[in-house]
A and B are shown apart, each in its own frame.
Chain A
Amino acid sequence: MSLPKRIIRETERLISDPVPGITAVPHSDNLRYFDVTIQGPESSPYENGKFKLELFLPDEYPMVAPKVRFLTKIYHPNIDRLGRICLDVLKNNWSPALQIRTILLSIQALLSSPNPDDPLANEVAEEWKNNNVHAIATAKEWTEKYAN
Chain B
Amino acid sequence: MGNTPAKEARSGSSSFGTSNPFARDILLNSSEQGALTGLSRKKREKERERQRRKEEHLVNLIVDYTESVDGGYLAPYGNYKYNLTYKTQVVRDLIIERRLAPFYTPMEDFDEKWTDEELLENVKKLHLHAQCTVDDLLDEEEDPDEHKIYQSANAMRRREKKVFKKRLKEKAVQLQDEADDKFRRDKRTQASGIRTFAEIPSDDLLLKLYRGAQECPICFLYYPKNMNLTRCCVQPICTECLVQMKRLEPHVPHDENAGSNSDTPAEGDSETPSDPDDLISEPVKCPFCAVPDFGVIYAPLDFKSGIGGVAPAEYRDSGKTIEEEDENSEVELESPDLSDTKRLIKGQSGQNSQSRLSLPKGDAQHSRSFSSTSRRLSESDTPVHKRRGSLPPNAPGVVTIDTIRPDWEQRLLNARAKLARRSAAATALHASSLIVEGPQQTHSMAGSTLIADRRGSSNMRVLSRQEQAEIEQKMIDEALRLSLLDEEERKLKEKVKEKEKERETEHRKVQSDVRRK
Task: Determine whether the beta carbon of B287 is less than 8 Å from that of A118.
Answer: no
Say whether chain B's binding surface is mostly helix, strand, loop, or mixed: loop
Tell me the minimal C-beta distance from A45 to chain B in angstroms.
21
- Partner-binding segment picked from A2-10, A22-30, A136-144: A2-10
Task: Determine whether the beta carbon of A1 is less than 8 Å from that of B136.
Answer: yes
Task: Determine whether the beta carbon of A95 is less than 8 Å from that of B133.
Answer: no
Given contacts A1-B135, A86-B259, are A92 and B217 in contact (CB under 8 A)? no
A123 interfacial contact with B, CB 8 Å: no
Task: Determine whether the beta carbon of A62 is less than 8 Å from that of B257.
Answer: no
B82 interfacial contact with A, CB 8 Å: yes
B262 interfacial contact with A, CB 8 Å: yes
Chain A residues with Cβ under 8 A from B217's Cβ? Answer: 97
Task: Determine whether the beta carbon of A92 is less than 8 Å from that of B108.
Answer: no
Given contacts A59-B82, A120-B266, are A96 and B260 in contact (CB under 8 A)? no
Taking a contact as CB atoms closer than 8 A, the residue among B218, B248, B257, B261 that contacts A86 in the complex is: B261
Tell me the minimal C-beta distance from A43 to chain B in angstroms.
25
> What CA separation (Å) do A5 and B241 show in the bound complex?
13
- Contacts of B108-137 to chain A: CB distance below 8 A: 108, 131, 133, 135-136
B386 interfacial contact with A, CB 8 Å: no
Chain A residues with Cβ under 8 A from B244's Cβ? Answer: 63, 96
A17 interfacial contact with B, CB 8 Å: no
Tell me the minimal C-beta distance from B241 to chain A in angstroms.
7
> What CA separation (Å) do A2 and B136 show in the bound complex?
11
Task: Determine whether the beta carbon of B262 is less than 8 Å from that of A5.
Answer: no
Task: Determine whether the beta carbon of B220 is less than 8 Å from that of A9.
Answer: yes
Tell me the minimal C-beta distance from B233 to chain A in angstroms.
10
B258 interfacial contact with A, CB 8 Å: yes
Residue of B nearest to A122 (CB): B266
- Contacts of B276-290 to chain A: CB distance below 8 A: 285, 287-288, 290
Task: Determine whether the beta carbon of A93 is less than 8 Å from that of B260.
Answer: yes
B30 interfacial contact with A, CB 8 Å: no
Contact with B along A80-100 (1 / 0, CB 8 A): 100010101001110111000
Task: Determine whether the beta carbon of A1 is less than 8 Å from that of B133.
Answer: yes
Task: Determine whether the beta carbon of A118 is less than 8 Å from that of B259.
Answer: yes
Task: Determine whether the beta carbon of A97 is less than 8 Å from that of B287.
Answer: yes
Place the interface of chain B in its size category: 20 to 34
Given contacts A4-B79, A5-B219, A120-B261, are A96 and B241 in contact (CB under 8 A)? yes
Chain B residues with Cβ under 8 A from A10's Cβ? Answer: 220
Residue of A nearest to B259 (CB): A118
Task: Determine whether the beta carbon of B260 is less than 8 Å from that of A88.
Answer: yes
Chain B residues with Cβ under 8 A from A93's Cβ? Answer: 260, 290
Residue of B nearest to A62 (CB): B218
Task: Determine whether the beta carbon of A95 is less than 8 Å from that of B260.
Answer: no
> What CA separation (Å) do A6 and B258 show in the bound complex?
33
Tell me the minimal C-beta distance from A81 to chain B in angstroms.
11
Task: Determine whether the beta carbon of A92 is less than 8 Å from that of B264.
Answer: no
Chain B residues with Cβ under 8 A from A115's Cβ? Answer: 259
Task: Determine whether the beta carbon of B261 is less than 8 Å from that of A91.
Answer: yes
Taking a contact as CB atoms closer than 8 A, the residue among B81, B108, B263, B285 that contacts A95 in the complex is: B285
> What CA separation (Å) do A4 and B240 show in the bound complex?
14
B221 interfacial contact with A, CB 8 Å: yes
Taking a contact as CB atoms closer than 8 A, the residue among B135, B220, B245 that contacts A5 in the complex is: B220
Task: Determine whether the beta carbon of B260 is less than 8 Å from that of A5.
Answer: no
Q: Which of B221, B258, B260, B264 has the most CB of A within 10 A?
A: B260
Task: Determine whether the beta carbon of A80 is less than 8 Å from that of B264.
Answer: yes
Task: Determine whether the beta carbon of B264 is less than 8 Å from that of A86.
Answer: yes
Residue of A nearest to B135 (CB): A1
Task: Determine whether the beta carbon of B259 is less than 8 Å from that of A88.
Answer: yes
Taking a contact as CB atoms closer than 8 A, the residue among A2, A59, A84 that contacts B264 in the complex is: A84
B461 interfacial contact with A, CB 8 Å: no
> What CA separation (Å) do A10 and B218 show in the bound complex?
11
> What CA separation (Å) do A91 and B245 show in the bound complex?
15
- Enumerate chain B interface residues (CB-CB to A < 8 A): 79-82, 108, 131, 133, 135-136, 217-221, 235, 241, 244-245, 248, 254, 257-264, 266, 285, 287-288, 290
- In the complex, besides A97-B218, A97-B288, 12 extra interface pairs with C-beta distance below 8 angstroms are A2-B131, A59-B82, A63-B80, A88-B259, A95-B285, A95-B287, A96-B218, A96-B241, A97-B217, A118-B257, A118-B258, A120-B264
30 residue pairs from A and B, CB less than 8 Å apart: A1-B81, A1-B135, A4-B79, A4-B219, A5-B79, A5-B219, A5-B220, A5-B221, A6-B218, A6-B220, A6-B221, A59-B82, A62-B219, A86-B261, A91-B260, A91-B261, A91-B262, A91-B263, A92-B248, A92-B260, A93-B290, A95-B287, A95-B288, A96-B218, A96-B244, A97-B287, A97-B288, A118-B258, A120-B264, A120-B266
- Enumerate chain A interface residues (CB-CB to B < 8 A): 1-2, 4-6, 9-10, 59-60, 62-63, 80, 84, 86, 88, 91-93, 95-97, 115, 117-118, 120, 122
